[in-house]
Structure 1
């Protein structure tokens, strides 16, 4: 029995490429997923795309093995997803280059799941519930900012919950939706293509609700950026006009060629 309470011979928990969870067809970004392909990150348009020679671990092995659920998989460069067990091996975490840990746990698990190496890594710990009453949408921004800050510093994040099956994958799905403007189905299919044991059924409706929210947030963010750029351009033009006026004033104050100046004093 493993940390998730399941036995290794439980066939219902085993997923192979013979029975993929989400057959996925090409969308506007050109990403696909099928039994012989795995979505892995590339630099094309800044979004993850297909490479046929990489499996869930990014090493060319396309078969998902049961024991891999005890490990962390790289979802995109700089972001790993795994179970609590993957956050307890300091040597392995150092080898992976982990710098930040996003610890997601059920409130009842706080005595068992907690930051193990607080002096080695930067942690964010969130107590949430694995049920339909839990509002993840309110939590997404905080997690997004934690991940983005780590990546902007060149860090590497490990996101984990107890089993790495529901809570932490749900956060990662929400992050990918925001980062790449993906639909819920696209983001979930991508995460499952890297970590096949993911199951986030409790949060499916919230993912759908988050789609228009994250799109609106991106529009507001872009509008703010455009406004800043526009204001910067206006300030630049205004500064140039002021410089022209200053030059003209200086020319007016300068004496004409051949004209001399003298100090006139009253005796």
Structure 2
């Protein structure tokens, strides 16, 4: 019989990791090369997006009452994917982890791909989807993904989202974390 050797850190420890960011607040930050995390302001600035070379947009607040940019026509040069997620702990954002991560992955694997992932403030819903991407496709642990992103941008996924990311980590790494029972 086998058991998990370790579990993801508790939510309060993950929240402490979120305090790593020491920079100012900006509308957009590059998390890894060609992957940007931003807010609705940058998502609505088509000139800035063009200047940045953005080819893909993942909107984690599509059709939400706070996000007024849903009607933007980005034109043929930008592929758009909208996810209607609520920023509340009870919302099950985990149903979008793999779809969102796949869209990010595909964007980054195109020859000139640059992707903006955003929600309203760029700190909870969109940050959660980027954390899931880093875990699914880049092999980050949840704690390492939080450290990495929070060194580049102030993020604050709500407690429910952090718990869902903990569950994702357990699913992704259960085969690696198993050990023999004594």
Q: TM-score range by the shorter chain?
A: 0.7 to 0.9
Q: Is the 8 A contact 2:124 2:157 kept in 1?
A: yes
Q: Does 1:193 align with 2:159?
A: no
Instruction: Indicate the residue corresponding to 2:122 in structure 1.
Output: 164
SS at match of 1:109: coil
Shift of 1:125: 0.6
Q: Is the 8 A contact 2:18 2:156 kept in 1?
A: no
Closer, same or farther: CA 137–93 of 1 in aligned 2, 3 Å = same
Structure 1: stretches of 5+ with no match in the other structure: 1-20, 25-33, 35-55, 57-62, 219-267
* Bigger relative CO (Cα 8 Å, ≥ 6 apart): 2
RMSD, aligned CA: 2.5
Closer, same or farther: CA 172–183 of 1 in aligned 2, 3 Å = same
Superposed, 1:1-267 pairs within 5 Å as 22=17, 64-66=23-25, 68=26, 71-105=27-61, 108-109=64-65, 112-119=68-75, 120-154=77-111, 155-196=113-154, 198-202=155-159, 203-215=161-173
Q: Is the 8 A contact 1:104 1:159 kept in 2?
A: yes
SS at match of 2:91: coil
Number of aligned pairs?
158
Give CA deviations for 1:68-109 in whole Å, capped at 9, x if unaligned.
Answer: 2xx210001121000010111122111111000001116542
Q: Is the 8 A contact 2:117 2:126 kept in 1?
A: yes
Shift of 1:216: 5.8
Closer, same or farther: CA 94–215 of 1 in aligned 2, 3 Å = same
Distance (Å, rounded) in 2 between the aligned partners of 1:113 and 1:217: 42
The structure having more radius of gyration, on CA atoms, is: 1
SS at match of 2:164: helix
With the length of structure 1 as denominator, give the TM-score of the two structures. 0.54
Closer, same or farther: CA 112–178 of 1 in aligned 2, 3 Å = same
Q: Is the 8 A contact 2:118 2:126 kept in 1?
A: yes
Structure 2: stretches of 5+ with no match in the other structure: 1-15, 177-182
